[in-house]
Amino acid sequence: MKIYVDADACPVKDIIIEESSKIEIPVTLVKSYSHFSTAEDPLGVTSIYVDPGADAADYRIMRLAQQNDLVITQDYGLASLAIAKGCTVLHHKGFMYTDQNIDQLLETRYAHAKARRSGKKTKGPKAFTNEDREKFRHLLVKVIQQN
């Protein structure tokens, strides 16, 4: 198993690196060049930089990820593609994307986008909390221990 992270806006990179290093699971952080850093990656972590285009990170992750790898993203479209490829997919708020919930998540995203295009205001995501961080950590540990 390898872990691929849609890393530009991921607030749990530190947790992913900490927990994966305990059992030596390689982590690949896929980031836009606009987030370039000269800092060295921790042992077991590789950063891959992509053009800042809308879906560049998603395309790179899908080229790299294989069946049974773990993908961490908040992007429902990427999650859908990764599920279809046989990956386990987690959201940073501590839930797993599944065949049972991805269609509803995509439909909700589409409905909100459609409403915004027609001039309506929609609520943004709830603030990320320490409870969300711990929920994510618990789920991540559970998933990596099962593999």
Within-domain flag for 140: yes
User: Does residue 47 belong to any structural domain of this protein?
Assistant: yes
Q: Which residues are CB-neighbours of 11 under 8 A, at least 6 positions away? A: 92, 128, 133
pLDDT digits (tens, 9 = 90+) for 60-98: 999 999 999 999 999 988 999 999 999 999 999 999 999
CA-based angle 91:9:73, to the nearest 5?
A: 25
pLDDT at 42: 93
- Helix, strand, coil percent values for the chain (each to nearest 5): 45, 20, 40
pLDDT band at 115 (very low <50, low <70, confident <90, very high): confident
Examine residue 117 and state whether it is found in any structural domain, yes or no: no
The answer to whether residue 11 scores a pLDDT higher than 90 is yes
Residue 87 sits in which domain range? Answer: 3-99+129-146
Is 32 within the bounds of a domain?
yes
Q: What is the pLDDT of residues 119-144, one digit of tens each?
A: 877 777 788 999 999 999 999 999 99
Per the structure, the count of domains in the chain is: 1
We report the CATH number of the domain holding residue 84 as: 3.40.50.2000
pTM value? 0.88
Query: Does residue 38 lie in a domain region?
Result: yes
Look at residue 119 and tell me if it is in a domain: no
Does residue 83 lie in a domain region?
A: yes
Kindly state whether residue 88 falls inside one of the protein's structural domains: yes
Nearest to 146 by CA among 68, 86, 82, 83: 68
